[in-house]
Amino acid sequence: MIKTRFIEEIIKDNKEGNEQVHGWIIGKRKSKNYIFLDIKDSTGVIQVVLNKKKNVHEDIDYIKNLKLNSAVSVTGLYNNSRNQPEIIASFYKIEKEATLNLQPNPSNPLLNPFNENFIKHLTKHPTFYISNRKLATVLKIKSRFRHNLASWFWSNKYVQMEPPEFTNQTLYDDNGAFWINLNGQKISLSRCATFHLEPGIIAYEKVFCITETHANEMSRSKRHLAEFTHLKAELAWANLEDLMSIAGKMLYETVRQTVSDCQKEIEILGLGKIIEDKINRLNPKNYKIISYDDAIELIKKKGKSFDYGKSLSNKDEEILTLAHNNSLLWIKFIPCTAEGFPFKRKNDAPHLTMVSDLIAPGGFGEILGIAEKITDYDELLSRMKEKRKDTPEQLERYKDYLDLRKCGLPEHGGIGMGIERVVRFLLDLKHVRYTRPFPVIHKTKINF
């Protein structure tokens, strides 16, 4: 029979009477007459008391020596008479004995999975360590956020698109992508859904997608993974200002919904105060806006050199947010030298793009970017030339994307967000790796 009763409910109901618990032993203590087991399930922990002298526990010595993490089921009388919820076992069954000594033990309540010393265990053996309570809690908040994002877009009448992962269209350099062989055709794993969302706006006007995205970049920074969860949205009839306003609203509302859904999880992580501060910063009315040109001037004023036209480094971003009272900071009009070819240019300064990035303070850096897209065929073609994407082979790859500009594609733009980065910022995590159960990290062997 499927399990229908969970520890959290038993403790919440707090009624004397028979209960059954299925779970895992995560702690053991003994006295002269009793054995005390801490049993966890996915909802909580409860103490189970075994009376050594009662006949029901003939194999009491076996239980005493059971390894932590063994799975058991226990039937018995619930009581809370000593202000300690417990079940006095009348029957128990070893459902699955643990025989492996994991070091460190994932269910040890004192284990800090975010400690640097722990990383090698997590990276090598995520299979065993994602059951650690704190890590499992972070992963749950992350995936709840993912779901809330989808719900937000559906409620706001966007349609979820399913862009292909197999595509010819790499956006950036070919060596920044992963390649597979499909019946002799060399195909890349999608790095950016824009090529497959834009056609969707003629059908739906407002579209979004949430996909696993793969970047074959050598970066091993704290905010880069080879495999990450990418939110993309694309809207017809929208310009940069519209997109900035929508993106801020979307981010704020979905984060607040997630925090509201995950009160228990935030308590487990002990993050109440930090989350309050982050939510406040994520409120769009507290964002600051600066142009890339002004940003560079500010960086130079602070005594740091900077090559105009490059992307901001992590350090640059930190300087800028620090100078803005650690607010979230929009940096707009990024030079075209630092951006992909599909982005629209600024009318009065064609070396700049209609792109704006949202930077989180405290070194967390870029979490979201928005861009107006080019709608004119000739303009797009000339941008492709500048980016050396005008070989016959490249023009063939982007042929339909180009031709879409001849099919009534109106003014439009998109939002791109790294879901791991937002969760890293919200939960104040040292590395995005903690936001995926099986993180794929460059130059790190995959054991799963």
**Footprint of a copy of itself on 141-160 (CB under 8 A):** 142-144, 146-147, 150-151, 154, 159-160
Interaction between residue 212 and a copy of itself (CB under 8 A)? yes
Residue 195: closest CA among 212, 179, 207: 207
225, 436 in Cβ contact below 8 A?
yes
354, 333 in Cβ contact below 8 A?
yes
> What is the helix (H) or strand (E) element at residue 51, kind and residue range?
strand 45-51
3-state secondary structure 166-187: EECCCCCCHHHCCEEEECCEEE
Question: Which one of residues 170, 194, 211, 353 is an interface residue with a copy of itself (CB under 8 A)?
Answer: 211
Interaction between residue 62 and a copy of itself (CB under 8 A)? no
235, 413 in Cβ contact below 8 A?
yes
Interaction between residue 438 and a copy of itself (CB under 8 A)? yes
Chain positions 318 to 357 lying near a copy of itself, rule: CB under 8 A, are: none
Residue 161 carries which DSSP code? -
* Region of 22-30, 50-58, 279-287, 362-370 interacting with a copy of itself (CB under 8 A): 22-30
Question: Which one of residues 99, 103, 117, 305 is an interface residue with a copy of itself (CB under 8 A)?
Answer: 99
Closer to a copy of itself by Cβ: residue 252 or 292: 252
Chain positions 214 to 233 lying near a copy of itself, rule: CB under 8 A, are: 214, 216, 226-227, 229
Interaction between residue 235 and a copy of itself (CB under 8 A)? yes
Residue 70 carries which DSSP code? -
Interaction between residue 200 and a copy of itself (CB under 8 A)? yes
Interaction between residue 401 and a copy of itself (CB under 8 A)? yes
Closer to a copy of itself by Cβ: residue 66 or 289: 66
Interaction between residue 427 and a copy of itself (CB under 8 A)? no
What distance in Å separates the CA atoms of residue 155 and residue 127, rounded to the nearest whole number?
Answer: 36
Interaction between residue 308 and a copy of itself (CB under 8 A)? no
Chain positions 24 to 43 lying near a copy of itself, rule: CB under 8 A, are: 24-25, 41-42
What distance in Å separates the CA atoms of residue 402 and residue 379, rounded to the nearest whole number?
Answer: 10
Give me the least distance between CB of 85 and a copy of itself, in Å please: 19
> What is the helix (H) or strand (E) element at residue 39, kind and residue range?
strand 34-40
Query: Is the omega angle on the peptide bond into residue 335 within 30 degrees of 0, that is, cis?
Result: no
Q: 348: number of CA atoms within 13 Å, CB side?
A: 0
Size of the site for a copy of itself (CB under 8 A): 104
Closer to a copy of itself by Cβ: residue 1 or 110: 1
